[in-house]
Amino acid sequence: MLKAILGIDVAKLKLDVALMIDSKVLMKEFTNNIKGFKLLQGWLASLHIEQVHACLEATGIYGEAVTEFLYERGHRVSVVNPSQIKHFAMSELKRNKTDKSDARTIATFCLKMDPSAWQPLPPEAKHLQALTGREEPSGSCPSAEPAERRPDDRESQK
């Protein structure tokens, strides 16, 4: 089986992807919704690719659904700090900054750096995130809350 690398540049409404197989790079665009994810899976199947190592930047909620979709279908998925991709691109002297070139840069990063695989949160943690509306726990320190949400100490002493 060929080693296939899929770099994904995620935006709110679309996914630009760069698929690296052997020495070829195939570029394609999909909508960032379940219909687009299914078309992506179909495209991979039409190329006889059963599994890819997909890589995307950790840029918030827009990449969560495609990450879970690919993971649930047996693909290896890596979610990488955008700073790593930026510095990698600088080290490769990349000057173009388009969605397509970003997807290709992400795929090249994935091929050369082989980032670790993403693991989904346990259902309990996802439930807590949904309840709190937070993506990351802020810690147990009360000062982690913004000042406007903390009670004024002077008023609580009255």
Number of domains the chain contains: 1
Whole-number percent of the chain with pLDDT over 70: 83
- 128 inside domain: no
The predicted model scores a pTM of 0.78
Q: What b-and-e string marks burial along 29-50, b requiring 16 or more CB atoms within 10 Å of the CB?
A: ebebeeebbeebbeebeeeebe
Q: Three-class SS of residue 79?
A: strand
- 139 inside domain: no
Residue 54 CA to residue 3 CA, distance in Å, equals 11
* Predicted local confidence at residue 134, as pLDDT: 58
- 133 inside domain: no
**DSSP run (H or E) holding 19:** strand 14-21
- 152 inside domain: no
> Quick one: pLDDT band at residue 140, thresholds 50, 70, 90?
very low
**Each residue's pLDDT tens digit, 51-109:** 999 999 998 899 999 999 999 999 999 999 999 999 998 888 877 788 899 999 999 99
CATH code, domain with 39: 3.30.420.10
- 84 inside domain: yes
